[in-house]
Amino acid sequence: MNSVRKASVDLHASELSCDPCRFAGKPMVAVKYCKDCNGHFCSYCSKSHVKAPITRSHVLISLTKKRVVKSSTRIQEKCHDHGAVLISYCETHEALCCSVCILTNHKVCKKVLQLNEAAVGKRAFRMSKDLESTIKRMQNSFKEVQMQKEDYIKSIEQQLDAVDSSIKMFRKSINGILNNLEDAVNQKKVEICVERSELVKSHVKTSQTAINILNDAYKQLDYSLKESDSEMFIRTKRVQGVVQTYAEVLARIQPMPQREVFRFIPDTSIEKFLGGLKELGELTIEIVHSREYEPSITSSIQSFSEHKKPNFANDIKVRVRTDKKPCYITGATFLFDGRVILADDSNKNVKLFGTDYKPLSSTTLNSSPRDIATISHVEIAVTLPNEKMVQIFKIGTKDIEKDRSHVLSIDCYGITFHEDEMYVTSGWSSEREIQVLKSSGEFSKKIRLSKGVFRYPLYITIDPKSKTMYVSDYINGVIALDMGGKMVFQCINKDIGTYYKGLTVTTPGQLYVCTWQQNGVQRVHIDGKKMETVLNWKISERRKPLAAAYTSKTKRLVLSFCGDKRDVLSIYK
């Protein structure tokens, strides 16, 4: 644009057509050429061109002779609609115009200026600078939109993964119900079999006894033949009494039971109900109005003082050399001396870390562990859902040794220890209960609530000061119970959809719960009326808090994660 382009044009009337007529669909031979607007016109259009107020002063050249035309314009831009050179600017419509535009779309416009008049002063320069700023702002806006859309896609992927887990859990729950119905039928089958068989078996035993006794009676009659008449009479009468007795027995057991045919008649209402369903459940989409924050602390009016809020310290890596897969830390607990022990689901091991959070040892299990609890200075308990078992380990200075184990009737999930008893949740199984065991493994009691309160009771912890038991239910929020199993409160965020995972109680009585779907940690108010977010992360960080543990010795809170941060444990103080 900074160089002047000079071009010589050899014009012949036989080679050129009138611009206005050509765009009107009626091409005519051009006889005039306009030096000001570089347009070609027939005799009729050339007259109109010089009569128009805006082009009255233009110079037209006849095309009957060869002419050399030198262009003095800096840029030869063409009209997008007509292909002719742009010569004017309409302020009314803020549009660039060619000669055809002027005669058609802008014929009655009053503010049509020549380009050199429209660009007078620094108008073009100011427009250019304004456009530069506008372009930069738009680029930044598009980048922000791009990032938001990418985060949205990641969020959708994560949420669909969570939905998939929920579907599988619900399917497992239904399978559990069907298994219980099947077990009930099988139990009835066994009872019928035992009832019928025991009676017949007693008859068989009685028959064998009768055969043996009658055989002996037969021998007694042989002996009587060698005796005196009186002795023979006595012996014969006694044998006669035995025969009469077993004749009565024979009459009682001889009739065979009527022929019985055992059949299973299914409850077709179950089949009809399931067959009438179109889907396993309903998939809904809710609009949740929420803000994303950097990792930060927020508070509400009912919050505790500032010094009691967790502050980030550092991240530690929990993957050890023997691990073959990315870690999936589903359980964490502190020993009384400040060391931390982790349950790694994906690598099927339990890991011991020192007070400096450096790995000390690990032990491999036959199945994936889920949660973990400290039960003494030298013992921990680990839940193994696939084996329906609680495994006890002895902890040495730098080693972990397997000890005794206790098998339960539920898929053991969450676990905590209080006053010589272990409290174990049923997790995804259909029982939906808490089972209590003595430290010796002796069964103590079951805790079941009203129908619908427990959906999937996962993690569990107990506040020893208030004697309150807290359970995180995957769907139904945080449920508080007294030590007798009576519900105190249920706290749930009804306005936002979330899944509740690990939870822990700190020394002052603060309860923290991992809200998996919201990528955050929330504090539950002691009255159970509200939850407040104390930690949360952007969706793009792909941090989903999973397990939580607290130690009063060093006042440290640890969190494990799903997503891209599975090999990391975050430390807060």
Whether residue 88 is found in the same domain as residue 166: no
Whether residue 366 is found in the same domain as residue 461: yes
Whether residue 244 is found in the same domain as residue 355: no
Asked if the structure places residue 131 within a domain, the reply is no
Whether residue 108 is found in the same domain as residue 204: no
Residue 342: pLDDT band (50, 70, 90) is very high
Condensed to tens digits (0 to 9), the pLDDT of residues 156-198 reads 877 787 778 778 877 877 888 888 889 889 998 888 888 888 8
Asked if the structure places residue 318 within a domain, the reply is yes
**DSSP state at residue 403:** E
Residue 9: pLDDT band (50, 70, 90) is very low
Between residues 13 and 102, which one has the greater pLDDT?
102
Residue 283: pLDDT band (50, 70, 90) is confident
Asked if the structure places residue 289 within a domain, the reply is no
Average pLDDT of span 65-83: 58
Whether residue 248 is found in the same domain as residue 312: no
- Backbone φ and ψ for 220, nearest 5 degrees, come out as -60, -35
- What pLDDT is stored for residue 482 in this prediction? 92
CA distance 333 to 547: 9
> Helix axis angle, 229-253 relative to 123-224, nearest 10°?
160
Condensed to tens digits (0 to 9), the pLDDT of residues 231-280 reads 888 888 888 998 999 899 898 888 876 777 888 888 888 888 888 888 88
Domain that holds residue 507: 306-572
Q: Cβ(6)–Cβ(71) under 8 Å?
A: yes
Question: For residue 428, which of 479, 383, 492 has the smallest C-alpha distance?
Answer: 383
Question: For residue 73, which of 131, 114, 19, 106 has the smallest C-alpha distance?
Answer: 114
The tokens of 276 are what?
Answer: 């009438």
Burial class (CB in 10 A: 0-12, 13-18, 19+), 17: middle
Whether residue 445 is found in the same domain as residue 523: yes
Asked if the structure places residue 463 within a domain, the reply is yes
Asked if the structure places residue 138 within a domain, the reply is no
Asked if the structure places residue 298 within a domain, the reply is no
Is it the case that residue 290 has pLDDT exceeding 50? Answer: no
Condensed to tens digits (0 to 9), the pLDDT of residues 491-522 reads 988 766 678 999 999 876 689 999 877 778 98
- What pLDDT is stored for residue 116 in this prediction? 80
Burial class (CB in 10 A: 0-12, 13-18, 19+), 67: middle
* 94: CATH: 3.30.160.60
Whether residue 243 is found in the same domain as residue 352: no
Asked if the structure places residue 494 within a domain, the reply is yes
Condensed to tens digits (0 to 9), the pLDDT of residues 526-564 reads 778 888 888 888 777 777 899 999 998 888 999 999 877
- What pLDDT is stored for residue 72 in this prediction? 42
Whether residue 411 is found in the same domain as residue 521: yes
Whether residue 94 is found in the same domain as residue 165: no
Full-model pTM: 0.55
- What pLDDT is stored for residue 122 in this prediction? 67
Q: How many domains does the chain have?
A: 3
Q: What is the 3-state secondary structure (H, E, C) of 343-385?
A: EECCCCEEEEECCCCCEEEEEECCCCCCCEEECCCCEEEEEEH
Asked if the structure places residue 556 within a domain, the reply is yes
Average pLDDT of span 476-486: 92
Whether residue 271 is found in the same domain as residue 316: no
Q: Cβ(300)–Cβ(532) under 8 Å?
A: yes
Whether residue 271 is found in the same domain as residue 314: no
- What pLDDT is stored for residue 447 in this prediction? 93
Question: For residue 490, which of 529, 458, 462, 441 has the smallest C-alpha distance?
Answer: 529
* 364: CATH: 2.120.10.30
- What pLDDT is stored for residue 513 in this prediction? 93
CA distance 340 to 418: 19
CA distance 184 to 267: 13
Q: Cβ(156)–Cβ(545) under 8 Å?
A: no
Is it the case that residue 13 has pLDDT exceeding 80? Answer: no
Whether residue 324 is found in the same domain as residue 429: yes
Condensed to tens digits (0 to 9), the pLDDT of residues 294-334 reads 333 333 334 444 446 688 889 999 999 999 999 999 999 99
Residue 66: pLDDT band (50, 70, 90) is very low
